[in-house]
Structure 1
């Protein structure tokens, strides 16, 4: 087993993560990544020695913090290949980013080519996270837009052949996960963008599971919206990113009102700031931006290609080890990106997770906020092991030993 991992020059970064004690196999990175010391230090430093508000103060520390906050926006833009930092909107997470798009496109001027309403259609897939389903249902219930759902291939990928056959000029938006949070399957994002654009639709990508594992360039992909959360990228919780093409942001109305998003306010009329400020009402999560900046620096210093190769090797090892156990059913493609979902015959995933916890192995068990996918797989839930830069072959060994104990306990 060690040979396959050694050939990819496995990462040895566990010492960077103080919250992972010796002997604990943390295999729940798809839910939230542990934080490296560099991120913890950046957050501590911001609160401890440099903290001040941004955009408002005329004193030096406020000006310095404003520069650091906006430097984080520029860093994000470079990280995902955005044309301009003004295309980066800071939000609380990917969930808020998708809700922002759904609310704004439903409230946009009806003459706009970006308007979504009665007579228009949205295309989703069976493997989407609830955060990429429910906001569109709320929009449907309010405006009458229709929703279509693309099936999956036999190995758990979004079936783009089926999607291409389903797309019509009535489709105004396609919203897909770049990487499935359950199956780890990777979307051919460039093809999805080309297909959507051929019928005049826009493409939104949920990049939560992609940005920690794969190089992402939104310009090269050709998508129109991209969202991700900082905490899955080794950054802080409560912070995320919405990227959208500048001309689309310019056309979108604000979705929340308050300080910072205005140009001028009177009781008769309010005018709004240009993007991205228009969409960032109130005092922002300042330290969250600085933490994300540090997380991006950390990840890029390692290299996304190296991270992907490391996690791919761990996935191969895991699928080989678990696949050798007769009572284990594996889900998703063999080349999944850092995620392996499975079920043990006759054992509820919650029981699997509980027994593994006794073995000091942390996995996720449940529907993973993807109940329609569970229905498609014909199971109520799955167990999920997901990897990060801190994992090693020893963690795979611990997982396999734990599953063998599960099978002994349940016969």
Structure 2
């Protein structure tokens, strides 16, 4: 077994970029456990030595040099020790070879297990080191295979998992098709042969990164993405701000080209681009686009608002199944209660809510960005 084991260790150390001494140290420790387990020597102090020149494996019992024997099987008197080697001192250990005749079989099995384990550990570490700094980034990969629940995407030679929950409901991909995915997690502590790389097509971070790619002003820092709210495959809202340029116009692009490329990448997902404001009245009003807003009443302690819209705009402001209002609330972080003008007049909101001057549509400058195909 010696030459073959040496060759295997050398090859694995080179291919997986592992220090071969790490493999040998692990092998020696595992062989100690295997010796004790297989040969009934649970309490015996032993040492296993692996000869890196020949590949031979030898087992030694360690006998401590003591002044007076109390455990003969584990100790050696100083007098006996000096007969072997005059340089021995109290507390030294004398090695006695106890390699069993059939230890080669046990060693071969153990060596195979250790080499396999170290290969897996090295593969996990290699993958983790390569992808650890890619979390929260977009990568392009090829769909390699799929099962009943997941898609498996090849990212630079490594298989990533796109689970059912991270797939958009309106998308279907074929084998060998290239797709953009958002890396959500790289986990080195998983069973199997490699680290686990989890990716997503539904994460809000995917939308943010796509805008960074398509809008140079975001990448340069001229425009800042403040918040993203997304119901993947259907509709999203993104809030942007800038002290230098028109952030909404920069994101839309000439004739809507920039945002349309993102819509195409997301298979027709509608996108509202919202101008961010530090003023919650203005921010909430903007977030409800494309609906027009008449007034916004703010309750700062409760972080809640009541928004008044024209009667004919009520359904638009709320959206299908409440989606527009729901996304606006996620985007801004404020509770939003939408009322029509007629309902607001009957409730006398100015008196019952916060007794503050409302923000009007003219004051906040509500902007609506219509994406191609938007209702």
TM-score bracket, shorter-length normalisation: under 0.3
- Whose Rg is larger? 2
TM-score, normalised with respect to structure 1: 0.18
Higher relative contact order (CA 8 A, sep 6+): 1
TM-score, normalised with respect to structure 2: 0.20
Which one has a larger percent strand, Structure 1 or Structure 2? 2
